[in-house]
């Protein structure tokens, strides 16, 4: 795992993938994130009912709950989601700081927050760790807390854990694509991939075909 300010002269941007060109893709990912949120919420609700038999998710989600009570929970839910998003981006930033020892910037972009560290390039594996750390760590924390939090907090914990997984949809999708590239590539924090002209790509044909298929789909969404 490496991070550097200066790439060798043989490294050039990978022309088949430019994140700035795929603005429509962000909307597709946001829509897919809603499905991920619903699936994650259902999974953790069912898991909580197994680990905590006193918790009944269907009763807690029933629409017979008085409207006033539901309105009272909105500020708590809004604050919780904001905290989760901030913690999510803080983990990204912490990973980048550990790799570079330089403080990253948290900026608003694409309808949300994101972490940027201009003039730095990360190796593929370093980028993947930084990209996936929030979803892995927060999900693990949610699973560890589930058996011990008060019963009244289970619904909120399940909701926040599911929302973090949904917010990580773009991170997970991009990581799958990045994993199809060889370990020798580098990436900046905008997601631009740099590959060496002298080394070329790995010979794994299935990776090349799958990567080409993804790039074809992205080009159609451009």
Q: Which whole number is the average pLDDT over 118-129?
A: 94
Other residues' Cβ atoms within 10 Å of the Cβ of residue 21: 12
Backbone torsions φ then ψ of 206, nearest 5 degrees: -65, -35
Q: Which residue has the higher pLDDT, 60 or 71?
A: 71
pLDDT tens digits for range 170-218 = 899 999 999 999 889 999 998 899 998 776 555 567 777 888 887 777 7
Whole-number pLDDT of residue 64? 44
Main-chain phi, psi angles of 7, to 5 degrees: -90, 150
The conformational region for residue 110 under phi > 0 = left, psi -120 to 50 = alpha, else beta, is left
Report pLDDT for 219: 72
Task: Calculate mean pLDDT across residues 12-37.
Answer: 81
CA–CA gap between residue 145 and residue 134 (Å, rounded): 16
Decide if 182 contacts 202 (C-beta within 8 A).
yes
Summarize pLDDT for 145-169 with one digit per residue, the tens.
Answer: 999 999 888 988 999 999 999 999 9
pLDDT of residue 22: 64
Radius of gyration from C-alpha coordinates of the chain: 20
- Most confident region among 6-15, 26-35, 48-57, 207-216 by mean pLDDT: 6-15
pTM for the whole structure = 0.84
Report the alpha-carbon distance of residue 205 to residue 189 in Å, rounded. 28
pLDDT digits (tens, 9 = 90+) for 66-96: 455 556 677 887 888 889 989 999 999 999 9
pLDDT in tens, 92-106: 999 999 999 999 988
Cα–Cα distances (Å) from 77 to 70, 82, 153, 168, in that order, read 10, 9, 11, 18
The two tokens of residue 147 are: 């058996």
Instruction: Convert 137-176 to b/e letters by CB count within 10 Å (16 or more is b).
Output: bbbeebeeebeebeeeebbebbbbbbbbbbbbbbbebbbe
- What's the pLDDT score for residue 62? 46
pLDDT the model gives residue 65: 47
1 pLDDT more than 70: no
SS percent in the chain: helix, strand, coil, step 5: 60, 10, 25
According to the model, what pLDDT value does residue 220 have?
A: 67
């Amino acid at each position: 795992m490496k991070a550097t300010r200066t790439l060798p002269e043989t490294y050039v941007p990978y022309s088949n993938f430019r994140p700035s060109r795929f603005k429509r893709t962000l909307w597709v990912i946001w829509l897919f994130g809603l499905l991920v949120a619903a699936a994650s919420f259902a999974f953790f609700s069912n898991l909580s009912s197994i680990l905590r038999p006193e918790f009944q998710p269907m009763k807690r989600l029933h629409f017979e709950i008085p409207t006033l009570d539901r309105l009272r929970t909105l500020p708590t839910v809004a604050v919780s989601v904001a905290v989760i998003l901030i913690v999510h981006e803080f983990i990204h930033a912490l990973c980048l700081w550990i790799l570079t020892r330089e403080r990253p910037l948290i900026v608003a972009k694409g309808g949300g927050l994101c972490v940027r560290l201009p003039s730095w390039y990360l190796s593929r594996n370093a980028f993947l760790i930084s990209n996936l750390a929030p979803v892995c760590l927060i999900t693990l924390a949610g699973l560890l807390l589930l058996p011990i939090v008060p019963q009244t907090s289970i619904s909120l914990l399940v909701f926040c854990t599911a929302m973090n997984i949904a917010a990580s949809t773009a991170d997970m999708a991009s990581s799958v694509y990045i994993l199809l590239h060889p370990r020798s590539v580098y990436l900046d924090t905008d997601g631009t991939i740099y590959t060496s002209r002298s080394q070329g790509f790995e010979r794994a044909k299935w990776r090349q075909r799958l990567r080409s298929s993804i790039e074809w789909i992205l080009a159609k969404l451009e």
